Structure 1
Amino acid sequence: MSRWSPYDLNGGTCIAIGGEGYCIVAASTRLSTGFSILTADKSMILEVNDKCLIASAGFDGDRSQLHKVLTFRSENYEHFHKKPMSCPAMAQMLGNTLYYKRFFPYYTFNLCAGLDDQGRGCVYTYDAIGSHERVGYSCQGSGKDLVQPVLDNQLKAPSILELPPKVAVTSLSQAEAIETVKIAFSAASERDIYTGDAVEIFILTPEHGVQKEILPLRRD
């Protein structure tokens, strides 16, 4: 049986892409169990601050609890340090939080994405117990097997194993990356019943902070 059991609440698909001067985080809004759609308007994305977002696919109860814990800890950090938590710092904290629950893990598959200190897009991808790495782009969720080949074909970010190491950001412009996200979600919604209804697309830039747009998807 695959990890996406039809008896679990599924949150669809999420994608993150990091580029020079921008980061894009997108996730579908359908929440379903088996062949029943529970709601068409459930956000999978936590807006930590204007430089960091977290997208979580998986069981909705665990996702809600995880986002609540991360919100509390990020607000606590900001209270004591008088500044918002950076995206790399949040990525490490998310990894620690997931690893702490490794013996009874959150049934979530997460992406932490935003802007680093140089204003570049940074994307961190996770397994269920907190192991993570920084990549140029990634996706999680029930549509991952459909979306990942599209991203690999279009983005072609350098491997982190190459020597000398290269910056793991895509060479596409912001507009091209947004169009790639829309194409990937449109393709996934045709073949994955857990991905549909709409997509929330968040665009982070140093100049404009966080901007949001909605892409409608098929509703059947």
Structure 2
Amino acid sequence: MGDDIMSYNGGVALAMKGKECVAIACDKRYGVQNRTIATNFTKIFQYGDHCFVALCGLATDVQTVSERLKFRTNLYELREQRKLKPIVLYNMLTNLLYERRFGPYFVYALVAGLDPKTGETFVYDSDNIGAISDNVNLATVGTASDFIFGLGELFFKPNMNPDELFEATSQALLNGVDRDSASGWGAIVYVIEKDKITLRELKGRQD
């Protein structure tokens, strides 16, 4: 593990699509390089009813970006008098990051969400200056993302139901963090459906 500022605190996140459901997951480790400080550090934040953002990178910037995004989304819902959609949240996030492109936040981001009327699913990722991506089947950011992306492609199949999606996301994440010293200590997984959101905590290797 290098001295790169993005991997200084470690951590990883993954988002994956199913049929009218979408999952987003992250590990629970907060560390300073190879020293583990806490094992309950969430990197996933909810905005609106069916929209989630995962942020990985420098822990202080994770908290700053999540708070600033919360302020903007609250303002949007007050002003527009309507619920936040995943694409709007993603545009807000990329704008927030791009505004600081000459002194960027040290975070990579994932946005996962669902349109509760149509059931359409959304998974986007972004780098630290707000580069925009297409709506993809799976995306991952963080120190173990190289391992997890390959595993995610292996476990992913089209039109998974919520249980299959949970299983695929969990297996990809847990097996990926086992190969990375900067992430781990269990995980949390959100499965987002039209009418409910399920949160599960996973036990992982405690080392």
Q: Same fold (TM over 0.5)?
A: yes
SS state at 2:129 partner: coil
Q: Residue deviations 1:148-204, cap 9 Å, x none?
A: 011122326xxxxxxxxxxxxx33222222111111122123221122112111111
What CA distance in whole angstroms lies between the structure 2 residues aligned with 1:199 and 1:120?
Answer: 26
Q: Residues 8-41 of structure 1: CA distance to partner in whole angstroms, max 9, x if unpaired?
A: 222x110101222111010011001122101000
Q: Is the 8 A contact 1:23 1:113 kept in 2?
A: yes
Higher deviation after alignment, 23-32 or 183-192:
183-192
Distance change >3 Å, CA 92–CA 74, structure 1 → 2: same
Matched letter for residue 126 of structure 1: S
| Contact 1:55–1:112 (Cα < 8 Å) also in 2 | yes
1:98 equivalenced with 2:86 (yes/no): no
Structure 1 residues 202, 6: closer, same or farther in 2, change over 3 A? closer
Q: What code does the residue aligned with 1:153 have?
A: L
Q: What secondary structure is seen at the aligned counterpart in 1 of 2:47? A: strand
SS in 2 for 1:49: coil
What code does the residue aligned with 1:217 have? G
Matched residues, number: 205
CA offsets, 1:40-99, max 9 Å, x none?
Answer: 001101111221000011000111000010000000111111222111100111111111
Deviation at 1:4, TM superposition (A): 4.3
Q: How does 1:27-106 map to 2 (within 5 A)?
A: 27-106=26-105
Q: Distance in 1 between matches of 2:120 and 2:38?
A: 35
**Change in 2 beyond 3 A, CA 1:63/1:180:** same
Contact 1:113 1:124 in 2 (8 A): yes
Match of 1:215 among 198, 202, 207: 202
Give the CA RMSD over aligned residues.
1.8
Distance in 2, matches of 1:147 and 1:21, equals 23
Q: Give the conservation status (yes or no) of the 8 Å contact 2:6–2:106.
A: no
Q: 1:7 to 1:130 in 2, by over 3 A?
A: closer
Kept after mapping to 1: 8 A contact 2:29/2:184: yes
TM-score by length of 2: 0.93
Matches within 5 A, 1:2-41: 4-5=4-5, 8-10=8-10, 12-41=11-40
1:144 paired residue number:
145
Structure 2: gaps (5+ residues): none
CA distance in 2, matches of 1:7, 1:205: 32
Task: Mark the CA change 1:4 to 1:184 in structure 2 (over 3 Å): closer, same or farther.
Answer: farther
Secondary structure at the aligned position of 1:106 is classed as: coil
* CA–CA distance in structure 1, aligned partners of residues 189 and 178 of structure 2: 19
Worse-superposed segment, 186-195 or 29-38: 186-195
CA change 1:214–1:130 in 2 (3 A) is same
